[in-house]
Structure 1
Amino acid sequence: MKILLISDIHGNYPALAAVSEAVSKHTISYVLNCGDSLVYAPFPNQTLDWLRDNEAFTIRGNTDDRVIKLLKGKNFKKPANPEKRIMYTSTAEALSKENAAYLLEQKKKKLLRLGHSFIGLYHGSPAEHEEFLFADTPDKRFKELAKKTHCEIVITGHSHTPYHKYIGGVHFINPGSVGRMFDGNPQASFALLKIKKGNVEVKHYRCPYDIDAVIDALGKSKLPPAYGDMFRAGKKLN
């Protein structure tokens, strides 16, 4: 059983399409997505259409949470920066009725049994929705989290940092960010999880995508050009 792991697409459909093409030679049994599917690139409908068409198991992240608030007629205090807020409001305004309904259905976590494996999807961690777990997070913290879950495999996003750790009897996996990496390499990040007879194998990948298409779309949508610089640099600039 081979599973595509993705997270933090951030509305970057050209990057998601590149990942889809990169894994097309594999037989993918499931797609698991750990949230922050929207905001910062102007392709919200294409992104959610792909997740729906591919029957992805999806949860919501913190950027999705704020879009959901807007869809419910509510507001949010942070981010206060106008250049950031417009990325949320423009996303909420652009969503089709079908994709707005799809987003509203998403939960903050999902527990799955795939084959003989119990898998937990979280955006931040099993303990906190917005906890940042990095490759260099102390093992002590992962041991604490292992005690808080009955899952054999825990998949998270949020930190945009790829890693695979086996601690406390639990496989902790972050596939990195499809659409908004911060390590200076703008290429899309994803992982393939292979489960066979109880053995767990994880491989992380990076693939290039059409960054110019994202920058052109930002310009056509009259969105802040700073985000074009961010995608090109592969770094968080604000």
Structure 2
Amino acid sequence: MPSILLISDIHGNFPALQAICTQHPPEQFAHICNTGDCTVYAPYPNQTLDWLRTYQAISIRGNTDDKIIRLLKGQTFKKPGKKEKRIMYTSTAESLTSENSAYLLHLKKKQVLKLGSYSLGLFHGSPADHEEFLFDNTPEKRFQEIASTCKYDIIVTGHSHTPYHKIISGIHFINPGSVGRMFDGNPAASYAVLTIDEQARQKIQVQHFRCHYNTEEVVNELSRMKLPEIYGIMFKQGKKLN
């Protein structure tokens, strides 16, 4: 009965990731699946990427990772244009070790796992669009449209920072929420555990969890690095303010 840890949108928030490890030690899982946005906004990109490499997480890239990859390649980007946002990208790219730069550069936009008789597709936004937002209140018709063109039994996405589990047209759509940057007014880390037991009546089970972490640690590190104060406020409030 393999259990899989589902994480997404860590955004460089290593203290939040550590708190999850205390609540659910990574060694107990057959796989760790990460749907991207590993870095940017919290000040621990190397610790986060070191962890993903250490535990051999099955990871894909998200839209913030895309921009870091552009910077690592000597390119630039137009959005975000605000100075307070751009510095979060440039400071991250400048701080990465060579090993972690190489790790990001090799991430793909999707991964596929075979889990017994089930197939799992890992995407950041959706199978149709890398940056599509799928929320818990996205119309069911949209999920049906995706299901009609999809060959996977389970689709795991991130990007919207919104946890849910829906079964639509026979496909399990799962979003574990954001490890490092929830926007619902609760800063606690969000993640999910997927369990597959082909002998059970309910073969696919999903549990969502929230986990409190030391937000002050993140705030203090942002301050030490002289990064914009607005991000410390957002991490403390669990809200998006810019």
Q: In which range does the TM-score fall when normalised by the shorter chain?
A: over 0.9
CA contact (8 A) 1:126 1:148 kept: no
Give the aligned residue type for 1:227: Y
Structure 2 partner of 1:212: 216
Q: Which runs of 4+ in 1 moved over 4 A?
A: none
**Structure 2 counterpart SS, 1:68:** helix
- 1:58-105 CA deviation, whole Å, 9 max, x = no partner? 000000000000000000000000000000000000000000000000
Give the aligned residue type for 1:229: I
Which of 218, 224, 227 does residue 223 from structure 1 map onto?
A: 227
CA contact (8 A) 2:134 2:160 kept: yes
Structure 2 partner of 1:139: 140
Question: 1:138, 1:118 → 2: CA distance?
Answer: 24
Question: 2:89, 2:115 → 1: CA distance?
Answer: 34
Task: Please give the TM-score of this superposition, normalised by the length of structure 2.
Answer: 0.97
Question: 1:75, 1:148 → 2: CA distance?
Answer: 34
| Structure 2 unaligned residues grouped into runs of 5+ | none
**Structure 1 counterpart SS, 2:28:** coil
Structure 1 residue 11 corresponds to structure 2 residue 12: yes
Question: 1:59, 1:191 → 2: CA distance?
Answer: 17
Give the aligned residue type for 1:215: V
RMSD value, Cα: 1.0
Question: 1:36, 1:137 → 2: CA distance?
Answer: 21
Report how many aligned residue pairs link the two structures.
238
Q: How does 1:33-44 map to 2 (within 5 A)?
A: 33-44=34-45
Question: 1:132, 1:175 → 2: CA distance?
Answer: 14
Question: 1:25, 1:187 → 2: CA distance?
Answer: 18
Question: 2:22, 2:31 → 1: CA distance?
Answer: 15
**Structure 2 counterpart SS, 1:14:** helix
Structure 2 partner of 1:93: 94
